[in-house]
Structure 1
Amino acid sequence: MMNQRTPDSTVRFERWFELEIIQPMADFKNPRQEWRRLVSELFGTFLLVIVAAGGGMMSQAFPGTISRTAAVVAPGLMVLGIILFMGRVSGAHLNPAVTLAFSMRGDFPWQRVPGYILVQLIGATLAAWFLQAVIGVSASAGSNYTAADYSSFQAFLMEALLTLGLVSVILGTASGAQNLGVIGAIGVGSYIALAGLWGSPISGASMNPARTFGPDLVAGDFTDYWVYLAGPVAGAALAVLLAFVLRGRGGGRAGSGAAQGDLDTEVSRPTQA
């Protein structure tokens, strides 16, 4: 006969569960809840790469069904949705270049950067692995490559330029805490779609080291990956410099709230919006 839990042990278990599980999770602003941000970034980056890499992989599996226009617009629409549903949790960076830009701007604590970038890379890798396993097409079809007859340096310049625009839009809307709402979501999502429409033929318009890293790792092919690492980082740094010229120093409450979400937001310049 199986042992049955006594009433006293049941009460103790319920009390433990309440104190150790329920209450900590309910304390949404507890600074120890960094795991919420990390889960948010992992899941958000996973969804982004599912769409961004999935367009190319689906197109190879089902020729003629997905146009280039659809493939480059879809990630913008996905990012729009992600910002709306999880921006208040983690800031919805989804991109190591964005995380670095927020930190260089003073809106995001540097000690959180390694965790964010790590889970972004993991989310992108899981997405590429999932797509390859389900579609049956190499993840390399969902990566980014320099176009034929163009040099890696030209692709680097294109990625830097496109990322300069992307991060400028993000920092600009974040300066009014609008990245937490509809305006930021529409601005960022629209820019990603527009940049893909005109910039993708040369470099693929990645603008995101994690987005390219996932498919490259799963496919085991890092051809020209330096372009998709150095280009976005350089573009993000230039965007931070431009933001300083246009709006002065960062670190204010509005920008910090947009960069960090609503979980125990750290503000280095509380008196500045």
Structure 2
Amino acid sequence: MTGEEHPGDAVPAGAPDESDHVEESVRARHGPRIAAELEREPVWARDFTDLAYEGRRLFSELLGTFLLVLAGAGAAVLDAATHGQIGRGAEVTAPGLTVLAVILFMGAVSGAHLNPVVSIAFALRGDFAWRRVPAYIAAQCAGAVLACLVLKATFGDLAHVGATLPGPGFSTAQVFVVEAVLSFGLVSTVLGTASSAQNVGSLSAVGVGAYIVTAGLWAGPVSGASMNPARSLGPALVSADLHDLWIYLTAPVVGALTAVGAALILRGPGGGPGGSRAAQGTLQPPRTGRR
């Protein structure tokens, strides 16, 4: 109520209400039980089809991926620049801690996917609209490229600008399998913590960050433990080394598809209201005069 309504502004009796259409679509998508839970949420937290703030969400994805790649690729660049002073432990820890921080400080804006296969996995599970996926992926890739441009302009073309490459002595097949398996674990962790069944809240950031560090510690020497097509695409484009890029674009997708199948077996379809909030963010529109 704004306090300035007039009799002529009233909705005619029997006229369709826009909220009725929203409720029907929610029931069709999630079923009556979850729809009843969603209806108890404030409008701003459940009306994820409103794209009015999509630009802010896309900027969040761009910025978050920029910071992730700046830390991940930057650690490799600075390790080369300092002749090994960074070390492999710091190289694999930096991106994990960065993801943890990004999820905590702006995960509520966009969901902090930071990874094309995460956006695809959320969409496959039904927690994220497919029409939003292309723009999310474009923002993630733009953030990755921007981070690598900054690294190259600052330090030069060291370590292929932090590119993820097969380790010496490992075959293409081995690298592909490792990247697919690592991506399966990462997406499983993301989907599992972003689920009403787990209900871990902000601890999901700790789980995802910890998995990234763990994957890098045991498998980094094999493939670089990218698990993220945008993370690999940025350095490859900026350094103009596309030779092994196809592995890092396709293997994470295979892992993500497998993880969605595993999530279906473990929890059934969808992540529930908690999964939708985690996937899409809960960006609250500014206050208006309405109550």
Show the counterpart of 2:115.
Answer: 95
Greater mean alpha carbon deviation, residues 189-198 or residues 129-138: 129-138
CA 1:215/1:180 → structure 2, altered by over 3 Å: closer, same or farther? Answer: farther
Match of 1:31 among 51, 56, 80: 51
Letter in 1 for 2:79: S
Separation (CA, whole Å) in 1 of partners of 2:239 and 2:161: 9
Q: Return the offset for 1:182.
A: 2.5
Separation (CA, whole Å) in 2 of partners of 1:206 and 1:249: 28
Does 2:244 correspond to 1:218?
A: no
CA 1:179/1:93 → structure 2, altered by over 3 Å: closer, same or farther? Answer: farther
Match of 2:261 among 224, 241, 262: 241
Q: Return the offset for 1:132.
A: 0.7
Q: Return the offset for 1:151.
A: 1.4
Contact 1:84 1:181 in 2 (8 A): no
Letter in 2 for 1:101: A
Show the counterpart of 1:124.
Answer: 144
CA 1:177/1:143 → structure 2, altered by over 3 Å: closer, same or farther? Answer: farther
Compute the RMSD of aligned alpha carbons.
2.0
Show the counterpart of 1:17.
Answer: none
Show the counterpart of 2:77.
Answer: 57
Separation (CA, whole Å) in 2 of partners of 1:115 and 1:177: 29
Does 2:135 correspond to 1:115?
A: yes
Greater mean alpha carbon deviation, residues 249-258 or residues 48-57: 249-258
Q: How many residues align?
A: 239
Matches within 5 A, 1:107-186: 107-138=127-158, 140-176=160-196, 181-186=201-206
Structure 1 stretches of at least 4 aligned residues deviating more than 6 Å after TM superposition: 177-180
Q: CA-to-partner distance for each residue in 1:174-228, whole Å, 9 max, x for gaps?
A: 0138799421010000000000000111100000000010000001111111110
Q: Return the offset for 1:137.
A: 3.2
Contact 1:179 1:258 in 2 (8 A): no
Contact 2:194 2:271 in 1 (8 A): no
Separation (CA, whole Å) in 1 of partners of 2:113 and 2:92: 19
Separation (CA, whole Å) in 1 of partners of 2:129 and 2:249: 22
Separation (CA, whole Å) in 2 of partners of 1:64 and 1:177: 44
Does 2:106 correspond to 1:86?
A: yes
SS at match of 1:107: coil
Show the counterpart of 2:207.
Answer: 187
Identity %: 55
Contact 1:91 1:180 in 2 (8 A): no
Contact 2:57 2:109 in 1 (8 A): yes
Q: Return the offset for 1:64.
A: 2.5
Structure 1 unmatched ranges of 5 or more: 1-26, 265-273
Separation (CA, whole Å) in 2 of partners of 1:58 and 1:205: 18
Q: Return the offset for 1:104.
A: 0.6
TM-score of the two chains, using structure 1 as the length reference: 0.83
Matches within 5 A, 1:11-50: 31-50=51-70
